[in-house]
Structure 1
Amino acid sequence: MYWSISLKNIIQGAAAVLIAAVFSGCQSADKANTEKKEHARYFDLPSYFQQEIDSLAKANPKINKTVMKDDKEETKQVHIKDWTTELSSFQSIDLNKPAYEGHIKTDTIDQVIQYSFTDPELDLSCVRIKMDPSGKPLLISIEKHVKNTLYGTTEFLVYEKDSFYLVEKNQAVRVMGDNYYKVQGEF
């Protein structure tokens, strides 16, 4: 009799601990989501570009795509098979990263929001977003700079909704020399 009561108590206690852990996990996830939403005070570029990726994948537009490597250039009319890869340079930019916190200066002039980065050690130097009168992005430009002892990279990204996108990159690698490439797609 004592053994069955103790076993029953143990099972009930284990169930109570399991239920508490499940609810605690849910509350932690809810708290993390709330903190993330509160922290997202700058324009959410990853979400915007995910919407664009989804829209473009569905529409499957024909693109005039130009690829340039150093002084060689080729242009073709294509359907992009993987918009996630095509726009990955844009989608990877997140103004709400903790590393940028406290280092962004925001200016707004004539429906253009400019985010300037005050720490030269950060990879981003400037992000500009031109909004339409209803507050939707029309054009986004991004300037990135990375410099260390092995290489220096400058990247310029532009995305104009329903018009074109551009990824332009200059890279100076110690010992290997300079590289330049450009990818431009026109809708």
Structure 2
Amino acid sequence: MYWYTKNLSKKLVLFTGLALGLHACSSPEVEKKSEQKAQAYFDIPSFIQQEIDSLKQANPTVNKTVTKDKEEETKDLKIRDWDNEFSSFKAIDLNKPAYAGFIELDTVDSVIEYNFTNPDLDLACVRIAFNEEGKVKMLSVDKHVKNTLYQTSEFLVYEKGNFYIVEKNQKVRVMGENYYKVQGNLKADKTL
């Protein structure tokens, strides 16, 4: 019995050493390659942050219409918190690990369309249109979340220097339906 436990101990030490060696050899390189692959798609949060910074500096007047169900109100105003105003846009990140392997890419003319093949994901489609210089001129997003308690559809559009829309339909099992829309038209009192 002594020889059996002695051989078992040697095998255990050998196996542990081998496992640690393989882990140490592959970890940094594999992590770098995974990060590089994950960053393969357009970086929407960085783009939106640049737009937020530009809008903060330009401080344009916005003709803003807010609709809640059937009530609507429109005002001309200066946006005090662009980070909050564009938070729905900034939350869209094509490089989230949850989306890996579920994005189909289609390019027509100067528009890139990302379609999501897994219906359990929150994103359905993201479209990015570019101008002649290769800069983003428009971004649109279709989001859908569905579970046993509620169903939400969200549509986002941002046209650089012109307007933005955040439109949301929500059906909650016990509470019913809600509709919400914000549209901001940037006035040309300052250029972006």
SS for the counterpart of 1:46 is: helix
CA–CA distance in structure 2, aligned partners of residues 133 and 33 of structure 1: 33
Deviation digits for residues 57-97 of structure 1 (CA, Å, limit 9, x no counterpart):
11110000000000000000000000000000000000000
CA–CA distance in structure 2, aligned partners of residues 74 and 100 of structure 1: 37
Say yes or no: does 1:138 pair with 2:137: yes
- State the partner residue of 2:41: 42
So what's the TM-score if we normalise by structure 2? 0.79
1:173–1:137: structure 2 CA closer, same or farther, 3 Å change rule?
same
Amino acid at match of 1:39: A
- State the partner residue of 2:16: none
- After TM superposition, the structure 1 = structure 2 runs for residues 150-165 of structure 1, keeping only pairs within 5 Å, are 150-165=149-164
Gaps of 5+ in 2: 1-26, 187-192
- State the partner residue of 1:94: 93
CA–CA distance in structure 1, aligned partners of residues 36 and 103 of structure 2: 18
CA–CA distance in structure 1, aligned partners of residues 51 and 112 of structure 2: 20
1:38–1:105: structure 2 CA closer, same or farther, 3 Å change rule?
closer
CA–CA distance in structure 1, aligned partners of residues 64 and 33 of structure 2: 41
- State the partner residue of 1:77: 76
How far has the Cα of 1:110 moved from its partner?
1.0
So what's the TM-score if we normalise by structure 1? 0.81
Gaps of 5+ in 1: 1-27
- State the partner residue of 2:6: none
1:55–1:35: structure 2 CA closer, same or farther, 3 Å change rule?
farther
Amino acid at match of 2:117: T
Number of aligned residues: 160
CA contact (8 A) 2:38 2:100 kept: no
Give the number of the structure with larger relative contact order, counting CA–CA contacts within 8 Å between residues 6 or more apart. Answer: 2
CA contact (8 A) 2:152 2:171 kept: yes
CA–CA distance in structure 1, aligned partners of residues 84 and 36 of structure 2: 26
State, as a whole percentage, how many aligned pairs show the same letter: 61
